[in-house]
Every structure is written in C-alpha cells, then in structure tokens.
C-alpha cells in the first residue's frame, strides 16, 4: 500500500499543477476578452492608436494563454479558453475590415480553425454596427464595401457544412449571421430610398414658383380670398 500512496502523491502534484494553470488561464482569458472589447470600441470611435494598443495587449495575452496551457491540451481546448480566443479573432477581423487592412489568418493569430470561423461569424454583427453608424450621417460607399464583406463572410460560412463536434456551433452562428445581413440590407435599402425621395422632393420644389422658400419651411404666398 506504500506504493499506492506514492501513486496518489504523484497524481496530487499533477492536479495541483493543472489547477494552478487553469486559474492563471481564467485570469488571462478574462483580460483578453476585455482588451478585445476595448479594441472594437476604439475602432468604432476611430481611435486608431487606442485600438492598436489594445490589439497589441490582446496579442500578448493570447500568446501567454497558449504557452501556459501547452502542457495541458484539455484546458487549452476548453470552453473558456476558446471563447476568449474567439473574441481575439473577432477583434482582429473587425478592426482589419473597418480599417481596410488585410484579413488576418488563423495561423497569424495562432488559433485553431473552428475558433477563427466563429470569430469571423461574430464580426458580422460589428460590421452591421459600423454600417448603422454611417447611415446616421447619410449613405456612403463604405456602406457598400462593408456590406460586401458581410456577404463574403456568409458565403464562406455557409460552405462549412460539418458536424458541430468539428465546428463547435458554427451552424447556429451562420444562421445568426444570415439574419443580421438580411436586416442590414433592409436598413441600407430603406436609407437609400429615403435619400432618393428627399432629392426628388427637393428637385420638385426648386422647379415650383417660389419653391426656393420651401427648404425654410414656408410656402408660396396664396392669393387673398375674395369677399
């Protein structure tokens, strides 16, 4: 039985090491998620330097997470770790597309394919947010560019017809992306129609006698009523 106690002590040491690595990874994952959220917020605010600082810190945390869990593949592939790395993918993809920079690859980000694709699918929501921000100030060519990116992303996601055990819920995320794109396309169409209608009304007003006073809210003078 003395040998059994030696075996148990070896297992305890292994469990202690795994627990320590897990606790450290949880802290790093939370910090990584926070940095990614701040980077996305900064790119929407067009704060390029702030965005890059948060992306750099996120890259450092992602690398530390991978290195720390390298001896423990089960922990690395666990939900909380891959969720944080998915946010890392989303942040880098979103910032690259909005800033019109080359799309980062899974190899460049150091993440597994299914995590990259899930991050890619969630970037669709951030592109919609960007489009809505633009439409508040009027339609622009950037809207068409971003909508094209959304379509391209969906075209790739819909081809990944593999079991959830391989893609980790990508099919559901693809359905969500489809819904977001459809709503966004409707918003863009509504905005365009509104602008076309406004221009048509303005043109008509300018062609009417006294129409130049319409933009100020007044109407052409009407003849006095006869008694």
Please tell me the least confidently modeled range out of 21-35, 92-106, 131-145.
131-145
- Among 83, 111, 139, the domain-final residue is 111
pTM across the whole model: 0.82
| Cα–Cα distances in angstroms (integers) from residue 103 to residues 58, 94, 99, 172, 186, in the given order | 17, 9, 10, 23, 26
Q: Of residues 42 and 226, which shows the higher confidence score?
A: 42
> Which tens digits make up the pLDDT trace of 45-67?
999 999 999 999 999 999 999 99
- Would you say residue 56 lies in a domain? yes
Query: Do 141 and 59 belong to one domain?
Result: no
Domain for residue 142, yes or no?
yes
Distance of CA 58 to the CA centre of its chain: 15
Query: What is the pLDDT, as a whole number, of residue 34?
Result: 98
Task: Indicate whether 151 belongs to any domain.
Answer: yes
CATH of the domain at 42: 1.20.58.2140
């Amino acid at each position: 039985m003395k040998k059994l106690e030696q075996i148990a002590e070896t297992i305890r040491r292994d469990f202690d090491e795994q627990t320590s690595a897990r606790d450290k990874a949880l802290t790093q994952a939370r910090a990584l998620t926070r940095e990614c959220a701040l980077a996305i917020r900064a790119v929407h605010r067009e704060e390029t330097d702030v965005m890059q600082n948060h992306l750099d810190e996120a890259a450092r945390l992602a690398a530390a997470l991978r290195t720390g869990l390298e001896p423990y593949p089960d922990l690395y592939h666990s939900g909380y770790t891959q969720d944080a790395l998915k946010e890392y993918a989303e942040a880098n993809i979103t910032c690259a597309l909005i800033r019109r920079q080359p799309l980062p690859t899974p190899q460049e980000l150091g993440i597994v394919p299914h995590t990259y694709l899930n991050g890619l699918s969630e970037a669709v929501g951030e592109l919609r947010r960007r489009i809505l921000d633009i439409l508040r100030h009027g339609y622009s060519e950037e809207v068409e560019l971003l909508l094209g990116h959304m379509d391209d992303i969906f075209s790739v996601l819909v081809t990944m017809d593999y079991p959830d055990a391989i893609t980790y819920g990508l099919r559901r995320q693809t359905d969500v992306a489809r819904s977001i794109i459809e709503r966004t396309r409707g918003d863009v169409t509504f905005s365009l129609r509104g602008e076309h209608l406004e221009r048509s009304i303005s043109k008509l007003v300018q062609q009417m006698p006294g129409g130049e006073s319409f933009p100020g809210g007044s109407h052409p003078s009407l003849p006095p009523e006869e008694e």
